Amino acid sequence: MRDLTPGEPGTPAVPMAHGSSGPTVVLPAVVAGGPVPVVNHASAPAPSLATVAHPATTPGPAPAVGSAATFWSDDLPDDPFVAQTAEAMTRTDLYAAPRVVPPSIPPTGLAELQARSISAWFGSHQVLDRVSLTMPPGQVTALIGPSGCGKSTFLRILNRMHELVPSASLAGEVMLDGHDIYEAQRRVTEARRDIGMVFQKPNPFPAMSIRENVLAGLKLTGVKASNATKDDLVEESLTKAGLWREVRDRLTAPGGGLSGGQQQRLCIARSLAVRPRVLLMDEPCSALDPTSTRVIEDTMAELMHEVTIVIVTHNMQQAARVSQQCAFFLAEQGTPGVIVEHGDTGAMFSNPRDERTEAYVGGRFG
């Protein structure tokens, strides 16, 4: 493919990400002034992320966006970002035209998640530069690094939450068992159902009971089930999250009445109810006491035999305890975040290859 002149219609405004399999597409309404980030979609032009962030600007019917695995395990209701994403989940006009959607990725056992040459921007500010990482099936992968190095942005890209942020954009591919979740013909809801997320601050719906919190995802994804099936699903999800024995006699009590650690496990149960194949966790224990942290870590150890887990943590001891693979992110002197080193957790902590990794895991900075 020839190099086109920047600014030409249909040409990339920044270089294509390394390893891209097709042409990048200019997003026309991301930010005024400065380079315009791009999204790499080889098969078809992607909608402007600015129009995703402001759905009223894009007319026409289309599938709804969002899933319980992502949003209903997230932040506080009075957070403007949460209000925006909650609205986005129920809208049907986020894309310009209806699309033919292939079936969801068929489960073939534990899932492998692979990020290929991921670059990310907020407006003209680049926060990640060509990050590639394979997250093996049936393992916990820990993302470590100092604040501001792009770990949480990377995590949000893995289930298409990044595109909901105003002016956000990205390049690269995210492959779930060999299928690109950013493929133009694949629904966002499918990506977020297959790849769930639990956030730092637990927040069940305060007006919903414990049972209703667990089942919230079924409504959002349009799944219909009998009461008996729902009862089984509630018990199964709460058991996997390590909460069933503590709440089985008060399922009609408000979810907001639980302790902090119980609320976080309720959020995990809510994500598991839609049966994701990958579970992303963004500092899930940072607001919890040591006892609750231990319970969450025990829950992760049991869940990794059923779902692939990716966790962001600033706690080096936690990373060493719960993960089998580790990736060290770093952004130096105003440069975008990159992965300095990744591999077996034990090897990275005992014999790191890079002196910067040794300094970070040894507590000399960060």
- Measured in whole angstroms, how far is the alpha carbon of residue 12 from the centre of its chain? 26
For 24-361, the fitting CATH number among 3.40.50.300, 3.40.50.720, 3.30.470.10, 3.30.70.890 is 3.40.50.300
pTM over 0.85: no
Other C-beta atoms closer than 10 Å to the C-beta of 64 total: 18
Contact (Cβ atoms closer than 8 angstroms) between residue 257 and residue 213: no
Supply 335's token pair.
């440069």
Residue type for position 175 = M
Entry field: residues in the chain: 366
Distance CA 248, CA 68 (A): 22
Distance CA 270, CA 257 (A): 16
Q: What stretch of H or E contains 141?
A: strand 140-144
Q: Residue ranges of the domains in the chain?
A: 24-361
pLDDT tens for the chain, 366 residues long, are 333 333 333 333 333 333 344 433 333 333 333 333 444 433 333 333 333 332 332 333 333 333 333 333 333 344 433 444 344 444 333 333 333 333 444 445 789 999 999 999 999 999 999 999 999 999 999 999 999 999 999 999 999 999 888 899 999 999 999 999 999 888 888 888 899 999 888 888 888 999 999 998 887 777 788 889 999 999 999 998 989 999 999 999 999 999 989 999 999 999 999 889 999 999 998 888 898 889 889 989 989 889 999 999 999 999 999 999 999 999 988 899 999 999 999 999 999 999 999 999 988 886
Question: Which DSSP category does 96 fall into?
Answer: S
Distance CA 211, CA 203 (A): 15
Other C-beta atoms closer than 10 Å to the C-beta of 252 total: 9
Are β-strands 113-122 and 168-176 bridged in parallel, bridged antiparallel, or unpaired? antiparallel
Distance CA 45, CA 220 (A): 27
